[in-house]
Structure 1
Amino acid sequence: NIPSNKLTFRSYWIFSAFYTFGIIGAITLEQGDIGPGYILVCIVIFQAFSLLVIQELVKSNRHETQLAVYKESIKNMTSLFTTIRSQRHDFANHIQVLYILAKQKEHEKLLRYIEQLVGQITSINEVLLSDNPELSALLQTKIAQFAQEKIRLRLHLTSSLTELEIPVIELNQIIGNLLDNAADAIKAADYPSDEILLETIKINNKVQIKVKNYRPIIPIYLQKKIFEYGFSTKQNHSGLGLAIVTSLVEKNKGTLCLISNEKVGTEFTITFPVKEMKKIEQKTG
């Protein structure tokens, strides 16, 4: 990857050369006496500069996208640490309340308070993956976000996904986009269900990531179109989320499968090979 300052410097010289060549070409054309060979050379040079300009624009856009993803990742991590610090800060207060309720023999209130407290602790512990703090941060953020939208994010994580070769930033992009897509579908269909399930499973030399919402169902005629760039059935949506997921899955040698019917619900399953499998393939190759 090119640092932003080098990218800007190189882009400046390419744009300057492109502009200068355009001016020279315009003056030369006005003066006349230009042979067909010279015009052909000018066209080739002009096209070459055009391709360079397009290349620089694509690189610049990619750099901005990566920067936005890193900022979102940092925001998620900050949110997770804030939640943990808040619970630790309140721990002493909870102990005092429990002590007073126990001393006053308010057994029913004591049980209710403990149940609520355990619920909070369970919620944060569900997403505390010690070997994958970036994923923990993302999931904690999504749990809080969806809770405000009256949607429950249920987790069944038997793999922390550290077995994968995929960069954690791209992994979070995939999972984040799938979760957002499921939540958007639930809201757009006026809440036919209020739960999303995220599951990670290691099976032999592969890891599966499943994101499932029980309703709504995606019609068969739309099940391929939803992965196309710019396609969206929802208003004010760019239609890029699932296209980005598809691109990142293919880039990291994974597969993406969609099942959506009345029996199963709507389930996206992504399968990636684990690190050991890739190393074996490289050695035998």
Structure 2
Amino acid sequence: MIFGKWIDKRIDAYQSDLMKKYCDEVESMYTKMRGWRHDYHNHIQAMQASMALGRYQEVSDYLRELNDDLVNVDTVLKTGRVMVDAILNGKISIAAGNDIPVNAKAKLPPNLDMNDVDLCVVIGNLMDNAIEENRKLNPEKRFLRIYIGMKNTQLYIAVTNAAGKKREKAGGLFRSSKGGRHGFGLARVESTVKKYDGIFTADSEDGGFTAEVLIPVS
């Protein structure tokens, strides 16, 4: 009983830290967007000045740089839910910042009963785990694949990432090389999925790790 309460407290603390991190990531993304919009008029004036002087190549180079900057700021995925979009794209931005190639497709069904907080807990934990595993490897070995969509009558979420050696399970959880709260992420995913009568599976092998979620859609 005492051990169970201790576990519950650890998981609650983990979730609180997780949600704070989500808020920080969302705020960072929107700060970047506001900054780009603030600079918009300055960009226009700089290009107009170059055009007036006939420096067309300079304008072309400037536009290319702006396009690259806009790609980094703009939303990559649109799932149909704003909060989920913010978290998902925030994680993708973090992955890109860690030299992790990402292949992602995501679309949520409009009739999904699962609330935004629980969706973010599931997606955020899975992606945090995937990013952490990738960071342990040399950049040339890193990859992250995300798929969110319908599979027959169920929501299907799959996250596959590069990993090192096969991870063993202990007490139903995959062992981690880190102590502290790490390792509770996947347990949190499983408990959240069960709340919706869903299924969570995870498979570890040398070189890769795959987590899959199935949740019934009414």
Tell me which moved more, 125-134 or 58-67: 58-67
**What percent identity do the matched residue pairs reach?**
23
1:82 equivalent among 12, 20, 31? 31
Give the equivalent residue in structure 2 for 1:136: 85
2:64 equivalent among 85, 92, 115? 115
Letter in 1 for 2:149: I
The residue correspondences of 1:97-112 to structure 2 (distance < 5 A) are: 97-112=46-61
The residue correspondences of 1:214-225 to structure 2 (distance < 5 A) are: 215-216=162-163, 219=166, 222=167, 225=169
Tell me which moved more, 128-137 or 57-66: 57-66
How many residue pairs get aligned? The number is 217
Give the equivalent residue in structure 2 for 1:11: none
Structure with the larger helix share: 1
Cα offsets for 1:90-134 (capped at 9, x unmatched): 111222233334344444443333233223333333346485222
Which blocks of at least 5 consecutive residues in structure 1 are unaligned?
1-50, 278-285
1:182 equivalent among 130, 137, 142? 130
The 2-side partners of 1:198 and 1:89 are apart by: 33
Give the equivalent residue in structure 2 for 1:282: none
Q: Which has the larger radius of gyration?
A: 1
How far has the Cα of 1:226 moved from its partner?
Answer: 7.5
The 1-side partners of 2:137 and 2:7 are apart by: 36
Cα offsets for 1:163-211 (capped at 9, x unmatched): 4222212211211121121122122233343332322223443222222
SS of structure 2 residue aligned to 1:208: strand
Higher relative contact order (CA 8 A, sep 6+): 2
The 2-side partners of 1:258 and 1:142 are apart by: 20
How far has the Cα of 1:260 moved from its partner?
Answer: 6.0
The 1-side partners of 2:170 and 2:129 are apart by: 11
The 1-side partners of 2:201 and 2:132 are apart by: 19
Letter in 1 for 2:193: V
The 1-side partners of 2:163 and 2:5 are apart by: 42
CA RMSD of aligned residues (A): 3.5
TM-score, L = length of structure 1: 0.61
Give the equivalent residue in structure 2 for 1:24: none
Give the equivalent residue in structure 2 for 1:253: 197
Which blocks of at least 5 consecutive residues in structure 2 are unaligned?
none
Letter in 1 for 2:144: I
Letter in 1 for 2:191: S
Letter in 1 for 2:82: P
Letter in 2 for 1:212: T
TM-score, L = length of structure 2: 0.76
Is the 2:108–2:148 contact (alpha carbons within 8 Å) kept by the matching residues of 1?
Answer: yes
Letter in 2 for 1:244: R
How far has the Cα of 1:89 moved from its partner?
Answer: 0.8
